[in-house]
C-alpha cells in the first residue's frame, strides 16, 4: 500500500514540468490564465514547432520572462503580442493576422471549398442530362424483351 502511494506520487511528478508557476507568480488567477494562454499562442523563434510554454530553449525562457514583465507592467494581451511581433516578426504568432499578404492563407480553404462545390455542381449537371426518348421500334423491342423475361420466370 505504501509502495502504491509512492508510485502515485511519482506518476504525478511530470505535472511539475509545465511552466514553473513559482517563477511567474500572479496575484490574480485570471492573469495566470492569461499568461498561460499567451505562452501557448506565442511561438518560439528558435525551435519552430514549439510554443513558448513547451520550449526549453533559452530564447523561449527569455521571451516568457519578457511576457511576464510586460504583463506586470499592466500591458494587455494585444500589447504583449505587438511587442514581440515588432521584434521577432509575425513568426512568433501561431495565429497569423488577417492582412492583404495573408489573404490567401485565410481565404484559401474557403476558395478550395468553393472550387469543389463548383466542380461538383458541374459534374452533377452533366450526369443529370435527360435520357433520350425511345423510338417506337425500341419500345416494341423493350416490350418483347420484358415479356420473354416473364415467360422465363414462370
Partner 1 sequence: MNRLLLFIPLVIFALMGLVFWVGLGIEDKTSLPSPLIGKPFPEFELGVVEDGRTLTTKDLQGQPALVNVWATWCPTCKAEHAFLNELAEQGIRIIGINYKDDVMKARDWLKAYGNPYAYNLSDPQGKLGLELGVYGAPETFLIDSEGIIRGKHIGDLNPVVWESLGKQFGEMQ
Instruction: Determine if 48 is a binding residue for partner 1 (CB under 8 A).
Output: yes
CB contact at 8 A, 90 and 78: no
Q: How far is the CB of 52 from partner 1 (least distance, A)?
A: 12
Q: Does 101 bind partner 1 (CB under 8 A)?
A: no
Considering only 20, 79, 87, 141, the residue that binds partner 1 (CB under 8 A) is: 87
Residues 52, 42: contact at Cβ < 8 Å? yes
Q: Which three cell numbers stand for residue 91?
A: 513568426
Residue choice 38, 63, 70, 81 for contact with partner 1 (CB under 8 A): 63
Query: Which of 1, 17, 110, 122 touches partner 1 by CB under 8 A?
Result: 122
Instruction: Tell which phi-psi region holds residue 74, choosing left (phi > 0), alpha (psi between -120 and 50) or beta.
Output: left
Interaction between residue 58 and partner 1 (CB under 8 A)? yes
119 counts as binding partner 1 under rule CB under 8 A: yes
Contact present, 85 and 99 (Cβ < 8 Å) = no
Q: Which of 19, 26, 41, 88 binds partner 1 (CB under 8 A)?
A: 88
Query: What does the alpha-carbon distance between residue 3 and residue 18 come to, in Å, rounded to a whole number?
Result: 26
What are the φ/ψ torsions at residue 51 (nearest 5 degrees)?
A: -90, 180
Positions touching partner 1 (CB under 8 A) are 45-46, 48, 58-59, 62-63, 66, 85-91, 119, 122-123, 126
Amino acid at each position: 500500500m505504501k509502495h502504491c502511494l509512492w508510485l502515485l506520487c511519482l506518476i504525478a511528478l511530470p505535472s511539475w514540468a509545465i511552466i514553473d508557476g513559482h517563477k511567474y507568480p500572479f496575484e490574480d488567477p485570471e492573469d495566470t490564465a492569461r499568461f498561460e494562454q499567451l505562452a501557448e499562442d506565442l511561438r518560439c523563434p528558435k525551435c519552430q514547432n514549439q510554443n513558448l510554454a513547451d520550449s526549453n530553449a533559452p530564447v523561449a525562457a527569455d521571451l516568457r520572462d519578457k511576457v511576464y514583465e510586460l504583463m506586470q507592467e499592466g500591458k494587455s494581451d494585444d500589447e504583449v503580442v505587438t511587442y514581440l511581433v515588432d521584434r521577432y516578426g509575425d513568426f512568433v504568432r501561431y495565429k497569423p493576422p488577417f492582412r492583404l499578404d495573408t489573404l490567401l492563407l485565410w481565404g484559401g480553404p474557403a476558395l478550395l471549398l468553393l472550387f469543389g462545390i463548383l466542380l461538383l455542381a458541374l459534374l452533377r449537371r452533366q450526369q443529370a442530362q435527360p435520357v433520350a426518348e425511345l423510338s417506337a421500334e425500341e419500345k416494341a423491342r423493350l416490350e418483347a424483351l420484358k415479356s420473354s423475361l416473364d415467360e422465363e420466370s414462370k
